[in-house]
Amino acid sequence: MKEVIAVVRMNMMNRTKQALTDAGIDGFFAHEAQGRGVGLVNPHVLQGAASGYEEAVALLGEKGKLYPKRVVSVVVPDKAVGAVVKTLIEVNQTGKPGDGKIFVLPVSDAVRVRTAESGEKSII
Amino acid sequence: MIMVRAIVRPEKADDVLAALMDAGFPAVTKFSVAGRGKQRGIKIGEVTCDEIPKTMLMSVVKNADRDFVVETIMNAARSGKKGAFGDGKIFICPVDEVYTVSSGVCETATPEEA
């Protein structure tokens, strides 16, 4: 089993939920987060500064600002990982910096609390 | 690659973020969480608070940077010189694959990157 953790844009959540449902992933876990990536320059600020807005010029020096994000976490069987990652990339891709990251982590076991089933049976 | 998850005091989170930025690790995700530790929460008289607000910082780094990142977070998150109860914990777990959504590139595809 693998855990797929995706950090995505806030406004993509509804589409991501729908796409995961369509792909046959019914259960997942999501929470709010703030984050920053490796891109140190905000393209909007740069564009504003190039157009000559004083507010944007004043913001040019700042780094390390955190942007609101959503985190989606799904635990899936090994063979479904590729499909889930593909779905998440297809839905969330705009091609601009800030689309997010997807991490795939190994999970040693999962247990369904209601029936105490463990292993892959508990997540299907 | 490895995922470093650090649970720190909320008031120290900004220090840790600044330290990571200076150390060359800008990419971090921050969560607000609540929890308790080995000391079973904070006891004041008869009242126990066992949902202490904390901040969780999540970052995925290369295996080779592991000790440096842990040391950076530790130094920034420790209160005083000796530290105190409630300064937090750092957890590390392996990450198999990392994808960048905007380009769709798998960053762990080349073995020397891991």
Q: Each residue of B43-92: pLDDT tens digit?
A: 888 998 889 999 999 999 999 999 999 999 999 999 988 889 999 999 99
Tell me the chain B residues in contact with residue A31 when contact means C-beta distances shorter than 8 Å.
31
Burial B50-66 (b: 16+ CB within 10 A, else e): eebebbbbbbbbeeebe
**Across residues B17-32, what is the average pLDDT?**
92
| Cβ-defined contact of B30 to A92 (cutoff 8 Å) | no
- B99 closest CB neighbour out of A33, A40, A89: A89
Strands in A100-106's sheet, in edge-to-edge order, are: B88-94, B2-8, B52-61, B28-35, A29-36, A67-76, A2-9, A100-106, B97-100, B105-106
pTM, two decimals, is 0.83
Q: Are B99 and A89 in contact (CB under 8 A)?
A: yes
Task: Identify residue B12 by its one-letter amino acid code.
Answer: K
pLDDT at residue number B31 = 93
pLDDT at residue number A55 = 80
Q: Among 2.70.98.50, 3.50.50.60, 3.40.250.10, 3.30.70.120, what is the CATH number of A2-37+63-123?
A: 3.30.70.120
Q: What is the pLDDT of residues A76-87, one digit of tens each?
A: 999 999 999 999
| Range of the structural domain that residue B21 is part of | 2-113
Give the start-to-end residue ranges of the domains of chain A.
Answer: 2-37+63-123
Q: What is the pLDDT of residues A31-83, one digit of tens each?
A: 999 998 887 677 777 888 888 888 877 777 677 788 899 999 999 999 999 99
| Cβ-defined contact of A32 to B30 (cutoff 8 Å) | no
Q: What is the pLDDT of residues B28-51, one digit of tens each?
A: 999 999 999 888 888 888 998 889
pLDDT at residue number B112 = 59
**Across residues B15-28, what is the average pLDDT?**
92
Question: Would you give the distance in Å from CA A68 to the centre of its chain?
Answer: 11
B113: pLDDT strictly greater than 60: no
- B28 closest CB neighbour out of A35, A102, A103: A35
| Residue percentage of chain A with pLDDT more than 90 | 54
B114: pLDDT strictly greater than 60: no
B111: pLDDT strictly greater than 80: no
Q: How many domains does chain B have?
A: 1
Look up the CATH number of the domain holding residue B14: 3.30.70.120
Tell me the chain B residues in contact with residue A105 when contact means C-beta distances shorter than 8 Å.
3, 93-96
Question: Computed from CA positions of residues A68, B107, A44, B24, in that sequence, does the dihedral angle turn out positive or negative?
Answer: positive
| Cβ-defined contact of A94 to B102 (cutoff 8 Å) | yes
pLDDT at residue number A44 = 76
A22: pLDDT strictly greater than 60: yes
